[in-house]
Structure 1
Amino acid sequence: MPIDYKITKIVVRCWRGIDALELDLRPGFPNVLIGSNNAGKTAILDAIALVLNSPAFGSQWSPDQNDFYCDQKGNRSAEFIIQALFGASADNGYPAVRGVGKPISVRGMQVRGTYKDGKARHQRTLLDEKLQPILIAPRTALSNDDKVKWKDHGVNWMQYYARPDEISSDVPEVWLFRPQEIDASLFIWKRGPIARLSRLLAKRFLLEKWTIEREDGKTSPMPDTLYKAHQFFQESVEKFPFWREDMRPKLEDAIGRYVGSQAKVDLRPDVQLFEDWIAQQLTISLGTESAGVVTPLSSMGDGWQSIIRLAALEALSQYSSEMKDRVVILLEEPETHLHPHLRRKLRKVLAALSKNGWIVMYTTHSPEMVSFDSDQVITRLLRVSGAVSANTIHTDNIAAPAKLQSKLDERGAHDFLFSAGAVFVEGRDDGFACRVTFDCTGVDVDGRSISITQCNAVSVIPAFAAIAKDLGIRWCAVTDEDRLPDGSINPKTENERKKIDALLTKGDKQIQWPGKLETCLGIAAPEKATPELTEPLLTHKDWRINHPQYYSAVGRIATWIDPLITI
């Protein structure tokens, strides 16, 4: 059975500002990390890149004291642990290592950092089925007699911890993209989408049978002609008089004096280097033509480079051969430099890459990068008393009304995910009235990170309230009392309010407009409380006296936002 495993879980303990956190990775679902600044989003991306041996944390990297968790009392942890755990359908689907004895299947990778006496160290190891570091013996143990006989010869039995480079061919390629390093996300350490497309093109360039129509009307079979040209180049370099009769003898003589023996120097570029050279030329030659001038990619602005990265990722998603490889894409605020339409496009491209087999995780502050109507795992990070907590929802478990509203309102339907609290109202008119009132009375809802979210109908509010509850966002539901002509409450509305009541927690609230918004503002049927009608009413200096029922209800909303507010 070929090696066929997936990374299923990330475990982080005492790493930077994170005391303890576990994230399950669901195949086919992009992982979206949201939360306020300093909630730990970047620390998680860095942790994953570190444990998976990303070039971003190269061989020269070492931790410092700030990489170890420190609580609010100033107690710094002496150890951090980061693990990436694997899952496979069969034991031989995992990578394996072997010393003396049977092969040991690898169930994960770990980085353990230690901080002692002002010195920080770290060690990368592979984990066994008990999630313990794998110890390997490269040779059999000596008998007691042989230990005595050969004690001075350094041939005793020993063990060492298996390291990630022992399964390097089976470890995912990791791309860590940061907004301040947009060019690196295209060319990073010979990795990234442009480099991968270039390697694919170079490989096909040299493997496929194709022809070139020459100007003399003849055809040249490819890549045979290219290989012959390469061979001719190799031979010509060796026979070049300046090289053969001048430079090579001098170089061999100089090297021979340093090493104390005769040296021989050859110039023979092999085919593999030839492939690499072609890929490199294809990479650096990509450019965009504007007004007849071709601008090299490396000379473009960040905005253009962001668009090229998006296009390259979209192109990669269409090649099944590339999707078979294990790739982990970690993006910090990928929406940077993109306008809202392209942010939504990027979200869809990342979803396609995830669906096709790559692991995708990104942090974001943009509602356009979230969708209730597509497959996503959304994790909201919250820092409380120095510790980070995580609340997660899977969008395939979201109620249908919220999914529909997500389609109707690409931005407003997701804005509350990034808030400290959400006011869920039925319609546009309710939201507008609240905003006008808060603006006029100095209630800074944006400064307090409070979202006023239009749900479009009372029947949708329970679905939105459930999402907020699952993610730990406090909320306030505002509905019409909705009385019928006989004075009774509309049974459908009453039923929806019961659903809302069932979701209430300590920090949540449900408020009703007496009758409905129009009744509170004295707007007679069949008129609606449109913005054109309500703004003059609510900006009038006597609005509190003129509309006491509205004043009472909106005052309760303000008190929910902050008990110290008086409007």
Structure 2
Amino acid sequence: MKHTISKLTIKNFRSCINAEFKFSAYTPLVGYNNAGKSNILSALQWLLKKSTLSEKDFNDQKLPVEVIAEVTGLAAELLDKMPSNQKTALEKFIVNETLIIRRLQDSPTTKATDIKLTVWDEAISDWSKNPTGLDNAISSILPDPIRIGAMENAAEDASKARANTTIGKLLAEFLNPVKSAHKEELDKHLSEVQQRISADGDCRFSELSSIDDSVNKKIDDLFPGMSIKLHFDIPSFDDLIKAGTIKVYEGKNVARDFSSYGHGAQRSIQIALIQYLAEIKRVNASNITTTTLLLIDEPELYLHPFAIEQVREALLALSKSGYQVIISTHSAQMVTSEQSQFTLLIRKDECNGTYARKRLSDAIQNIVPDSIHQMEQLFSLSHSTQVLFAEYVILAEGKTERRLLPFLFKKITGRTMGQEKYALIAQTGVNDTKKSMEILQAMSIPSKAIADLDYGLTGAIKHGFIDANDIDVIEIKNIFKLLSDQGKITLNGNGVPKNGIVDASKAYELISNESSAIPHIKALHVKMKEKGIWLWESGAIEAHIGITNKDEKSWAKFKKDIASNGLQQTCSDYKSIIDLIEWLRN
């Protein structure tokens, strides 16, 4: 049983002008600083936990703020477990296990009492205002969210736990077993205290009665017939839980304030509570009938790389145990290949404000209709999670490109590919080029590809980048025929090289040295660049940089030679490498 907020629409809230976001049980929000990731989390929080928005929360103060959520997975089995009055309040608005709710604030001056949840009524095709018991019914399936910020208030939050703080909510979540086991015992002790210090206690301390008597003598002189008794309220068990706090011990059992520790220690304690919560929720997962939103800004902040993986796994466990986890992150470690397809790429521009690019899962479904190929393509792209953190993608099939291109890029530009927001993505095969580029285009991520020369005569034709009757393709094949007739290479039935007299890769290197072929190869190269694909004119990158093998030893020697002799002296075709880098950056 699992219900979640599957879609959120935010209008006029801070940087979100009018944007739609799709969520899964575990949804990372990836984007650069100031893209609006935290604003999305805040809008979610406001939807389920009413507060009054101020002027700064309105993108345009002349328009209302509106947050709409689709809650899916509200099966009959879940409704049957709800109190009858709450079930009645909800069930008539649920269509295909989906409920649509909205919170709206007309202006910054709107009264708190006028900021209410409404629900979409399919029967009247309009919002049903103020249905009886709606707020309580919604709270029973979607309780107040737990929000963990990016440490700005961590010390205050952890040292003063209250019902509306992160620590207070976490304590309330996992102290229920303590309450069940000891409430009766503690209530008994509290009752004994009450008898001694409350105004109507049967066993009041004599000192309190003595004070009462002395004060009442004074009152009687001023106002005969009136008297007082000192009174002290006794907290309930729940009050004690809400007042709970954290003391930090180190060394010889000396307690220190949480705020006296660095951000790393503070974050570690917060996350440790989350991990413990994940453990106890996993045990009791079958009994969970609510979904609590867990909203975290940068959970990886101040943590060691190994600790980041532990946090990720704890959050994933919670997403399967009654929580919907939505995080903002700058760390690829928070996004495994399995989650990358549901990750939201958050961007912001002047026209649209904050918005999400199309998810990888949605782009693949639109571009690749066959389910088996969808899985293959997803596996290929999602295993390169850096695609989610880049502004530009370079697709490369060859191992040498993947190993040496980042090195060459930095040597030539003085900057890393990451500094210029490029992601170098490995393809499982050059035949994935077209699909990968279309998927990235659907996600609004600019991409370019690098391919060996053979692709221009095979895959490029199959994918529609080049016409089979292209004059340059025909001329190159004619020259291959001459080389074959001379016994230098072996051709397949389509007139392109195959392994035989020499390897197919060697055949492409041979033709690149034929003076009659060079103009046609150059022309094909230019045509493919216009399609966003770089063809190596000498067959493959190895011929251009001057190495013969594709192995660690050859790559290491190449780097060593550059360190000793420089790039220009080492590369056999230095200019083509410069041209490639300039083309990638344009």
Q: Which residue of 1 aligns with 2:117?
A: 125
* 1:39-438 → structure 2 map (5 Å cutoff): 39-53=35-49, 58=51, 61-64=52-55, 66-69=56-59, 78-87=63-72, 88-90=74-76, 105=93, 107-115=99-107, 123-130=115-122, 132-135=126-129, 164=135, 168-179=139-150, 180-183=152-155, 186=158, 189-190=162-163, 194-196=167-169, 198-199=171-172, 202-208=175-181, 226-237=186-197, 238=201, 239-247=204-212, 250=215, 266-267=231-232, 269=234, 273-277=236-240, 280-281=243-244, 283-285=245-247, 287-290=248-251, 293-297=254-258, 299-320=260-281, 321=284, 324-374=289-339, 377-387=342-352, 388-390=354-356, 391-394=358-361, 399-400=375-376, 403=379, 413-426=384-397, 429-438=400-409
> Is the aligned partner of 1:32 residue 2:36?
no
| 1:167 to 1:234, Cα distance in 2 relative to 1, 3 A | same
Question: In 1, Cα distance between the equivalents of 2:397 and 2:218?
Answer: 87
Question: In 2, Cα distance between the equivalents of 1:225 and 1:416?
Answer: 56
**CA-to-aligned-CA distance 1:173-204 (integer Å, 9 cap, x gap):** 21222212334665664356644554466543
Question: In 1, Cα distance between the equivalents of 2:542 and 2:131?
Answer: 80
CA apart distance, 1:437: 3.1
Which entry has the higher C-alpha Rg, 1 or 2?
2
| 1:124 to 1:558, Cα distance in 2 relative to 1, 3 A | farther
User: Would you tell me which structure has more strand in proportion to its own residues?
Assistant: 1
Q: Which residue of 1 aligns with 2:451?
A: 479
CA apart distance, 1:460: 7.2
Letter in 2 for 1:519: A
**CA-to-aligned-CA distance 1:322-348 (integer Å, 9 cap, x gap):** 854431111122211112222222222
> Is the aligned partner of 1:510 residue 2:530?
no
CA apart distance, 1:361: 0.8
Q: Which residue of 1 aligns with 2:17?
A: 19
CA contact (8 A) 1:63 1:113 kept: no
User: Would you tell me which structure has more helix in proportion to its own residues?
Assistant: 2
CA apart distance, 1:78: 2.2
**CA-to-aligned-CA distance 1:309-331 (integer Å, 9 cap, x gap):** 22221211222448544311111
Q: Which residue of 2 aligns with 1:547?
A: 572
Question: In 1, Cα distance between the equivalents of 2:530 and 2:422?
Answer: 14
| 1:518 to 1:6, Cα distance in 2 relative to 1, 3 A | closer
CA contact (8 A) 1:423 1:475 kept: yes
Q: Give unmatched runs, 5+ long, in structure 2.
A: 366-373, 456-487, 506-527
CA apart distance, 1:464: 5.8
Q: Which residue of 2 aligns with 1:158?
A: none
Question: In 2, Cα distance between the equivalents of 1:89 and 1:401?
Answer: 33
Question: In 2, Cα distance between the equivalents of 1:432 and 1:135?
Answer: 60
Letter in 2 for 1:511: W
| TM-score, normalised by the number of residues in structure 2 | 0.68
Q: Report the 3-state secondary structure (helix = DSSP H, G, I; strand = E; otherwise coil) of the residue aligned with 1:311.
A: helix
Q: Report the 3-state secondary structure (helix = DSSP H, G, I; strand = E; otherwise coil) of the residue aligned with 1:351.
A: helix
Letter in 1 for 2:54: P
Q: Which residue of 2 aligns with 1:73?
A: none
**CA-to-aligned-CA distance 1:177-234 (integer Å, 9 cap, x gap):** 22123346656643566445544665433533xxxxxxxxxxxxx7766554333322
Letter in 1 for 2:240: W
> Is the aligned partner of 1:559 residue 2:524?
no
CA apart distance, 1:475: 1.4
Equivalent of residue 9 in structure 1, options 7, 10, 35: 7
Q: Report the 3-state secondary structure (helix = DSSP H, G, I; strand = E; otherwise coil) of the residue aligned with 1:334.
A: coil
CA contact (8 A) 2:119 2:129 kept: no
Letter in 2 for 1:308: I
Question: In 1, Cα distance between the equivalents of 2:26 and 2:397?
Answer: 30
* 1:526-537 → structure 2 map (5 Å cutoff): 529-534=554-559, 536-537=561-562
Q: Which residue of 1 aligns with 2:519?
A: none
User: Which segment drifts farther, 456-465 or 225-234?
Assistant: 456-465
CA apart distance, 1:358: 0.9
CA contact (8 A) 2:161 2:242 kept: no
Question: In 2, Cα distance between the equivalents of 1:68 and 1:196?
Answer: 28
**CA-to-aligned-CA distance 1:293-316 (integer Å, 9 cap, x gap):** 454545432211212222221211
Q: Report the 3-state secondary structure (helix = DSSP H, G, I; strand = E; otherwise coil) of the residue aligned with 1:318.
A: helix
Question: In 1, Cα distance between the equivalents of 2:165 and 2:399?
Answer: 43
Question: In 2, Cα distance between the equivalents of 1:438 and 1:345?
Answer: 34
| TM-score, normalised by the number of residues in structure 1 | 0.70
| 1:232 to 1:507, Cα distance in 2 relative to 1, 3 A | farther
Question: In 2, Cα distance between the equivalents of 1:291 and 1:424?
Answer: 56
RMSD of the TM alignment (CA)?
4.6
Question: In 2, Cα distance between the equivalents of 1:92 and 1:402?
Answer: 36
Letter in 2 for 1:20: N
CA contact (8 A) 2:296 2:328 kept: yes
Question: In 1, Cα distance between the equivalents of 2:559 and 2:301?
Answer: 37
| 1:119 to 1:317, Cα distance in 2 relative to 1, 3 A | closer
| 1:458 to 1:530, Cα distance in 2 relative to 1, 3 A | farther
Letter in 2 for 1:21: A
Could you tell me the percent identity over the aligned residues?
19
Question: In 1, Cα distance between the equivalents of 2:388 and 2:347?
Answer: 12
CA contact (8 A) 1:96 1:103 kept: no
Letter in 1 for 2:535: Q
Letter in 1 for 2:268: I
Letter in 1 for 2:178: F
Question: In 1, Cα distance between the equivalents of 2:550 and 2:421?
Answer: 36
